[in-house]
């Protein structure tokens, strides 16, 4: 199983969140894995649950739908193996401790859903698996996020230090109005907790994902479906279809290229333009040979083919071997 270190990712990690967009159909789940792999996603994510341990009887219609969308443990084993053959990482969100126990054998890392941000028992249980964890912050307050992080730390003190804990900025609305996306939270969470932050997108479209990368997200998760239109289940509407996902990944890679990385340096392209755009020390008047140069006689002129302007004070008081006409550059070999 391919593990992950959120601190040492070489590129933004893109997750196609299938969730339950398969609507309980195993073949559709396999097809979505294939489509996500073809689009270039790094991973596919599902939800693993037992309906009776997830939704109560007080919501009979919801319980019926959740049961209808449920895949068996055996089906998930097959999906994990199928994802491996497609060259894409499989993982899932456990919604009960038993689901986490099962997934521990087939998934390289876990995700805690927004709805379970305050489910500290489940978070602790998953943390004890000693695998990387993503914690979604949807619905959360800063205190609730802090409690979740501290719960992981109590079970695995080295998780964050080892790069095995990531907070996923998320707004738990379907869809998220653009004025509520709050992409600035990506940077805020990073500064508040000192750990990598990702972004799980529930807006319509994909532009928020690129902007989240610009804000510092190192993992992007987008709901994924084979078809957005003419669907009943609400997750399809906020999902990317295969073409959307390809465009999203392309946009993320362009955003990464635009952002760059490493120390602040003059670029290769800038170096080509440096001499033409920078200035050299020149003569603002005709300067005769053998006369001490005065500051007021100097002017700074393009290109930077002569003496750098930073040395102007050094030139003052020196003498020239030859007369320099107004508008000409003073060169090193002209000085006595």
Average pLDDT, the chain: 96
Can you tell me the mean pLDDT for 161-177? 97
Domain boundaries, the chain: 13-259, 268-334
The two most distant CA atoms of the chain are separated, in Å, by 101
Residue 6 predicted with pLDDT over 80: yes
307: exposed, middle or buried (Cβ count in 10 Å: 0-12, 13-18, 19+)? buried
So what CATH class is 13-259?
alpha beta
Higher pLDDT, 20 or 234: 20
Can you tell me the mean pLDDT for 93-100? 98
So what's the pLDDT on residue 2?
76
Tokens 């030859």 belong to residue: 322
Residue 296 pLDDT class (50, 70, 90 cuts): very high
Instruction: Give percent of the chain above pLDDT 70.
Output: 100
Residue 232 predicted with pLDDT over 90: no
Residue 108 pLDDT class (50, 70, 90 cuts): very high
Residue 161 predicted with pLDDT over 90: yes
- Could you give the count of Cα atoms lying within 13 Å of 199 in the half-sphere of its Cβ? 28
Of the candidate ranges 18-32, 111-125, 232-246, 280-294, the one whose mean pLDDT is the lowest:
232-246
Residue 117 pLDDT class (50, 70, 90 cuts): very high
Q: Is the dihedral of CA 48, 136, 142, 149 positive or negative?
A: positive
So what's the pLDDT on residue 3?
85
- The total number of residues written for the chain in this structure: 336
So what's the pLDDT on residue 234?
76
**Would you tell me which CATH number, out of the four given (3.40.250.10, 3.90.1210.10, 3.20.20.220, 3.60.15.10), belongs to the domain 268-334?**
3.90.1210.10
State whether residue 201 is helix, strand or coil.
strand
């Amino acid at each position: 199983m391919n593990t992950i270190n959120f601190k040492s990712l070489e590129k933004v990690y893109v997750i196609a969140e299938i969730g339950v967009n398969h609507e309980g159909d195993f073949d559709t789940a396999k097809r979505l894995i294939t489509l996500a792999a073809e689009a270039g996603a790094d991973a596919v994510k599902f939800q693993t649950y037992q309906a009776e341990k997830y939704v109560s009887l007080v919501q009979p219609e919801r319980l019926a739908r959740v049961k209808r969308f449920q895949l068996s443990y055996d089906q998930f084993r097959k999906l994990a193996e199928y994802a491996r053959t497609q060259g894409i990482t499989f993982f899932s969100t456990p919604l009960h401790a038993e689901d986490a126990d099962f997934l521990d054998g087939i998934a390289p890392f876990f995700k805690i859903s927004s709805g379970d941000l305050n489910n500290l028992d489940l978070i602790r249980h998953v943390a004890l698996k000693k695998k990387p964890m993503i914690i979604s912050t949807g619905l959360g307050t800063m205190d609730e996020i802090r409690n979740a992080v501290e719960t992981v730390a109590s079970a695995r003190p080295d998780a964050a230090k080892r790069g095995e804990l990531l907070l996923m900025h998320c707004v738990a609305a379907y869809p998220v109005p653009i004025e509520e996306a709050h992409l600035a939270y990506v940077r805020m969470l990073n500064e508040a907790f000192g750990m990598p932050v990702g972004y799980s997108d529930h807006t319509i479209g994909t532009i928020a994902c690129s902007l989240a990368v610009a804000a510092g997200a190192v993992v992007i998760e987008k709901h994924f479906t084979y078809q957005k239109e003419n669907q009943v289940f609400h997750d399809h509407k906020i999902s990317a279809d295969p073409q959307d996902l390809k465009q999203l990944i392309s946009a993320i890679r362009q955003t990464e290229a635009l952002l760059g990385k490493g120390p602040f340096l003059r670029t290769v392209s800038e170096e080509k333009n440096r001499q033409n755009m920078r200035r050299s020390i020149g003569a603002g008047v005709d300067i005769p040979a053998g006369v001490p140069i005065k500051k007021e006689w100097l002017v700074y002129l393009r290109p930077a083919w002569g003496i750098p302007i930073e040395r102007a004070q050094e030139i003052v008081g020196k003498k020239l071997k030859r007369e320099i006409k107004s508008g000409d550059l003073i060169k090193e070999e002209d000085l006595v």
